[in-house]
Structure 1
Amino acid sequence: MRTARSATPARRGGLRRKISALIAVLVLPLTGLVALAAPAQAATATATYAKGADWGSGFDATWTVRNTGTTTISGWTLEWDFPAGTTVTSHWDAVVTRSGNHYTARNANWNGTLAPGQSVSFGFNGAGPGSPTGCLINGQSCDGTGQPGGPGAPGTLTTGTVTTTSVQLRWGAASGDVQNYDVLRNGRVVGTTSATSFTDTGLAPATSYTYTVLARDTAGRTGPASAPLTVRTTSDGGGEPPGDAVNLGYFAEWGVYDRGYHVKDIVDSGTAEDITHINYAFGNVQNGECTIGDSYAAYDRFYSAAESVSGQADTWDTGALRGNFNQLRQLKELYPHIKVVWSFGGWTWSGGFGQAMQDPQRFAQSCYDLVNDPRWAGVFDGIDLDWEYPNACGLSCDNSGPEVFGEMMRAFRDVFGDQLVTAAITADASSGGKIDAADYAAGAQYADHLAVMTYDFFGAWAATGPTAPHSPLGSYAGIPQQGFNSQAAIDKLIARGVPPEKLLLGIGFYGRGWTGVTQSAPGGTATGAAPGTYEAGIEDYKVLAERCPPTGTIAGTAYAHCGNQWWSYDTPATIAGKMDYATGRGLGGAFFWELSGDTADGDLVSAMSAGLG
């Protein structure tokens, strides 16, 4: 039931590069091309927009950035505005963020360097009828009009004092004839100064803003923009953490590739203020020990200043920590209430648990040594064991016996001491199902919490249906399998001796869907899995909310029938109901898979936080 995790790790090697994105403007289809203007000879970069197919409820489009200067560009930032009612719903080959109707796209880690004359394209799917306006590339007009003989770029932007409503900026002086500097916030000029510092005021608390600075000479000509710097104002409440209930989110290691989701997005979306724990997924279990999943993503990928939580670029110094681990370290410095736990296993990498549990002490010690490796000391607060499933079948089968889960948790508690020891466990409450296969109560006494995977009950692996919500809170007339709902799972675990305060209710930040469906209500027939961005039959909430909005609710969750597709997923409203159930049942909190499925403003996480109190 964990296919949301299953296919993606196997693909991680193929997600790093898309050579086809590096194409010249001349190979773009002429239909829908908007030439914002002929580039001026001295401009350093231009950007053009091309709208492709339009299917009524949405469209696809391409931006192409071209180096029209005489020196290499080492990074690019494109900004534009869409009118109200037009939005970006998904994107690829760039890191795209949104603030209201203002969009910012930054190069991916592999396509930011452009030699003179070279171009790069990235694409997106959108909804609505509007066209982009106010286009800026590296702080200058996208049409490349005239900056001949202008000053140089200002030096690196840094911050001084940051408060709830103000940001102090400093930068190095630009070369050439400089009369003053324009300071741009999210692509718009917010101040002009002759000094090399500026304080931007009137800001909102706990909000991220991206700044660039342009130098202007006495003739009014501007030079190239500084490298961008993103700054987040402090919280209005002094950074008070969420309440006592656990609100845990999984961060998928491979999300930094095609999904373009990074630790900084946790900050920019406001999610960092709403969550209490992050499970970093996944480490592997091989030859009886814990091992690294993807070392490049984990601790070697270089983060630029614009991509970084701290606003400072990584270094290549020997022994310097980079990658996700360094970003998580920076996140914890800003939000010390967040606990970060390294999760091992998952659907794809659970096969090694059975062998590892032949020597539980060696297994636990290997994991402790890796989690607490001096190279990333202080990043992790403990370990999460995601065995799918002890004494049962997932991608592979285990026959270690019902007592193995308790033995594992006891061994890890002995080794990890007062660090967090947690586990993700099955929600299969059917008669003779996976909850019945292992003694989860025996393991619960050693666990800080157990995350019950109350999602993926139904999906398009049953290609012809019947259509059914993948995460029903309770049962309903016509449910395809008894015991496949959240309440049944929680009730059975508590009845078997697991304390309710040790249990977390699971929420999927994605939907599961079928195609070839004519019936709006659940229970319809289908012809197969609906198309998805990364995998057939599954799609992120942020995409479905725009593309296929809910048409009904059943068993405490939402469903949507659009065209011949049928999807089920949770919304802020259904999450509110599920959080009411979790608090009313005395559970320890809730968790979700996974962070990148939420909207840019963190709508689902916010609903969980509000519901948990």
Structure 2
Amino acid sequence: MRFRHKVVAGLTTLVLPFAAMVGLATPASAAANATATFTKTQDWGSGFGGSWTVKNTGTTTLSSWNVEWDFPTGTRVASSWDATITSTGDHWTAKNLAWNGTLAPGATVTFGFNGVGPGFPSNCTLNGGSCDGGVVPGDEPPSAPGTPTASGITDTAAKLTWAAATDDKGIKNYDVLRDGVKVATVPPATTGPTSYTDNTLSAGTDYSYTVQARDTKDQTGPVSASVAVRTTGNGNPGGGGSKIKMGYFTQWGVYGRNYHVKNLDTSGTAAKITHINYAFGNVQNGKCTIGDAYADYDKAYTADQSVDGVADTWDQPLRGNFNQLRKLKAKHPHIKILFSFGGWTWSGGFTQAAQNPAAFAQSCYDLVEDPRWADVFDGIDLDWEYPNACGLTCDNSGPAALKNLAAATRTKFGPNYLVTAAITADGSTGGKIDKADYAGASASFDWYNVMTYDFFGSWATKGPTAPHSPLTPYPGIPQQGFSSSEAIAKLKAQGVPDKKLLLGIGFYGRGWTGVTQDAPGGVATGPGQGTYEQGIEDYKVLKTTCPATGTVGGTAYAKCGNSWWSYDTPATIQTKMAWAKNQKLGGAFFWSADGDTSNGELVNAIHTGLQ
């Protein structure tokens, strides 16, 4: 499944390619000083390979290109690369991608496709003009609209108003672009200037708007000058405005779980969160490394799995989850994405990283800022489980190790990137919080994701049964310090600012089998049956297979047959969010998105609870 070129290679072994080059020139409107030439590269009877070459023959740089042509009925594009190709009936349009739209004088760009049918393109236009570079008067594209002005700016909305563009045949509508991505198409006003209100914004966030006119022949003119907008409020945690609502997306979810970046959009999750942690990058030999190259940037997405409904092509420069996250950000520009390194399995590499924090930070920066996906990530998250303590492996780097690593990472990434950490919630006396200088390290971190879950579970095979994510201690709790409130209180007492603490919510349950007692504290014979792992199950499964029968310590538990599970529900999450707001915490986060229902009911509980 990792052989990217299999289909195309197969075609080239079946036929001998030939070139049939034609310059198609059919009048449309003025677009001088550029040409588009079609080449038929292969022909295998029922279909063919084709490519277009766009050349800037002028003396000024082209900022974008748009090639249009007609196919005879029965001929169509089956797949394409290096351009976005769409159709209306037999009329086809190819537009540049974000990375290949700019052409300096004399420069060329080529895009291609595989076609079905015997036909040949005709009636070619390039940017509204003839494909041979000639200018055909009489049907000009629209002019640029006036520079938009902004008014009525709130935490979540802004109104844009602009003067009309002109066109010899009339204006059909206007495209509104936010940060270069179209967010709306609006008809022109019958009188006076046209306006549009964007009410999908985030508090304390910067945006840039332009407007582009479209005439009655669907030709687009140049974009207007831009206007900058900053919404009111403060998007920083604890700053008196919006709270952080962060969720983990796991790279391995694209396999057996069949959970993709698109699901963040279709479930409504993307509209209700502020940040995503992409889990995980590895830590090897003291450096940040890729965790799963295939899932991260090589997996080819079909149209039905893709965020924007456009399938990946075999030769595009970035695929996989990273490309899908890029598409998600284009659709939801308020979201910030962090690359999370470490986790339970890959935290062992932090011990060597702590020996040379500057080299570690440099390696992480180089990876996060790789030119192929630099625009995807807004920061880095360090998930070290656990500094100067034991997780899957034990570390003895000393109490200052996390502080030193954090300082080096912040220095390298600078103030314009987010730098965060997932940390222990072990508030017991002499426990993991006591092992490291979390207060000192917090000066370099934007916030901590306090992992206030997995306190109890079926690794204690015979019990006692206990909720894995209690908000508060309760009579009979098996271990002192193993609750969210005790962990948060201890971190505050150490000197960590409350606004830098996020409360963790698990979107799963932990459970046992062989249990006869309904209330917590019962005896078990082993772990409960889970879909992917013994003793653990997604909320979306448990809500119907083992509905909650009670609450304890601010979370829910369930007894069904001889099984006993604990997990959070929308109701207990609302309780936890009210508590987080009362504690003036920076917000909340969850592990992980694939455990929620298809309509995101747990995310919605976090979202509404932190309003």
The answer to whether the superposition gives a TM-score over 0.5 is yes
Q: Secondary structure at the match of 2:551?
A: strand
Does structure 1 residue 417 correspond to structure 2 residue 414? yes
Does structure 1 residue 240 correspond to structure 2 residue 186? no
Deviations 1:95-114 (A, max 9, x none): xxxxxxxxxxxxxxxxxxxx
Please tell me the residue identity of whatever aligns with 1:405: L
Is the 1:429–1:492 contact (alpha carbons within 8 Å) kept by the matching residues of 2? yes
Q: Which residue of 2 aligns with 1:404?
A: 401
Map residues 99-498 of structure 1 onto 2, 5 A cutoff.
Answer: 170=88, 238-241=199-202, 244-317=242-315, 320-418=317-415, 419-498=417-496
Q: Which residue of 2 aligns with 1:590?
A: 588
Q: Secondary structure at the match of 2:407?
A: helix
Q: Which residue of 2 aligns with 1:216?
A: none
Deviation at 1:548, TM superposition (A): 0.6
Deviations 1:67-90 (A, max 9, x none): xxxxxxxxxxxxxxxxxxxxxxxx
Q: Secondary structure at the match of 1:566?
A: strand
Distance in 1 between residues matched to 2:201 and 2:528, nearest whole Å: 42
Deviation at 1:170, TM superposition (A): 4.5
Distance in 2 between residues matched to 1:484 and 1:153, nearest whole Å: 66
Q: Which residue of 1 aligns with 2:504?
A: 506
Is the 1:157–1:171 contact (alpha carbons within 8 Å) kept by the matching residues of 2? no
Q: Which residue of 2 aligns with 1:88?
A: none
Distance in 1 between residues matched to 2:342 and 2:604, nearest whole Å: 28
CA gap of 1:453–1:154, structure 2 versus 1, over 3 A, is: same
CA gap of 1:462–1:169, structure 2 versus 1, over 3 A, is: farther
Deviation at 1:241, TM superposition (A): 3.0
Please tell me the residue identity of whatever aligns with 1:371: V
Distance in 2 between residues matched to 1:529 and 1:536, nearest whole Å: 6
Task: Extract unaligned runs of 5+ from structure 2.
Answer: 3-72, 81-85, 92-115, 119-182, 186-195, 204-240
Q: Secondary structure at the match of 1:455?
A: coil
CA gap of 1:524–1:239, structure 2 versus 1, over 3 A, is: same
CA gap of 1:341–1:525, structure 2 versus 1, over 3 A, is: same
Deviation at 1:315, TM superposition (A): 1.7
Q: Which residue of 1 aligns with 2:22?
A: none
Is the 1:154–1:171 contact (alpha carbons within 8 Å) kept by the matching residues of 2? no
Deviations 1:310-334 (A, max 9, x none): 111112226x100000000011111
Distance in 2 between residues matched to 1:377 and 1:425, nearest whole Å: 26
Q: Secondary structure at the match of 1:560?
A: strand
Q: Secondary structure at the match of 1:573?
A: helix
Distance in 1 between residues matched to 2:526 and 2:76, nearest whole Å: 55
Is the 1:157–1:170 contact (alpha carbons within 8 Å) kept by the matching residues of 2? no
CA gap of 1:389–1:539, structure 2 versus 1, over 3 A, is: same
Distance in 1 between residues matched to 2:579 and 2:441, nearest whole Å: 24
Rg larger in structure = 2
Question: Which structure would you say has the larger RCO, counting Cα contacts within 8 Å and 6 or more residues apart?
Answer: 1
User: Which runs of structure 1 show a deviation greater than 2 angstroms over 4 or more consecutive aligned residues?
Assistant: 151-158, 168-176, 232-238, 240-243
Q: Which residue of 2 aligns with 1:135?
A: none
Deviations 1:333-352 (A, max 9, x none): 11111000000000000001
Please tell me the residue identity of whatever aligns with 1:279: N
Q: Secondary structure at the match of 1:241?
A: coil
Is the 2:354–2:402 contact (alpha carbons within 8 Å) kept by the matching residues of 1? no
Is the 2:422–2:450 contact (alpha carbons within 8 Å) kept by the matching residues of 1? yes
Distance in 1 between residues matched to 2:607 and 2:376, nearest whole Å: 24
Is the 2:79–2:313 contact (alpha carbons within 8 Å) kept by the matching residues of 1? no
CA gap of 1:153–1:449, structure 2 versus 1, over 3 A, is: farther
Q: Secondary structure at the match of 1:384?
A: strand
Deviation at 1:306, TM superposition (A): 1.4
Distance in 2 between residues matched to 1:152 and 1:559, nearest whole Å: 60
Given candidates 575, 578, 581, the residue that maps to 1:577 is 575
CA gap of 1:300–1:171, structure 2 versus 1, over 3 A, is: farther
Deviation at 1:577, TM superposition (A): 0.3
Aligned residues: 401
Please tell me the residue identity of whatever aligns with 1:364: A
Deviation at 1:172, TM superposition (A): 5.1
Map residues 490-569 of structure 1 onto 2, 5 A cutoff.
Answer: 490-569=488-567
Distance in 2 between residues matched to 1:468 and 1:558, nearest whole Å: 10
Distance in 2 between residues matched to 1:369 and 1:533, nearest whole Å: 37
Distance in 2 between residues matched to 1:333 and 1:388, nearest whole Å: 33
CA gap of 1:610–1:534, structure 2 versus 1, over 3 A, is: same
Deviations 1:396-444 (A, max 9, x none): 0011111111111111000000211000000000000000000100010
Q: Secondary structure at the match of 2:348?
A: coil
Please tell me the residue identity of whatever aligns with 1:557: T
Is the 1:280–1:341 contact (alpha carbons within 8 Å) kept by the matching residues of 2? yes
Deviation at 1:239, TM superposition (A): 1.8
Distance in 2 between residues matched to 1:272 and 1:349, nearest whole Å: 27
Please tell me the residue identity of whatever aligns with 1:589: G
Please tell me the residue identity of whatever aligns with 2:567: Y
Q: Which residue of 1 aligns with 2:26?
A: none
RMSD: 2.6
CA gap of 1:521–1:372, structure 2 versus 1, over 3 A, is: same
Please tell me the residue identity of whatever aligns with 2:377: F
Identity %: 65
Deviation at 1:240, TM superposition (A): 2.4
Deviation at 1:238, TM superposition (A): 2.9
Distance in 1 between residues matched to 2:380 and 2:536, nearest whole Å: 28
Deviation at 1:519, TM superposition (A): 0.6
Deviations 1:253-293 (A, max 9, x none): 10000000000000000111100000000001111110000
Q: Secondary structure at the match of 1:251?
A: strand
Is the 1:157–1:172 contact (alpha carbons within 8 Å) kept by the matching residues of 2? no
Deviations 1:288-314 (A, max 9, x none): 110000000000000111111111111
Q: Secondary structure at the match of 2:303?
A: coil
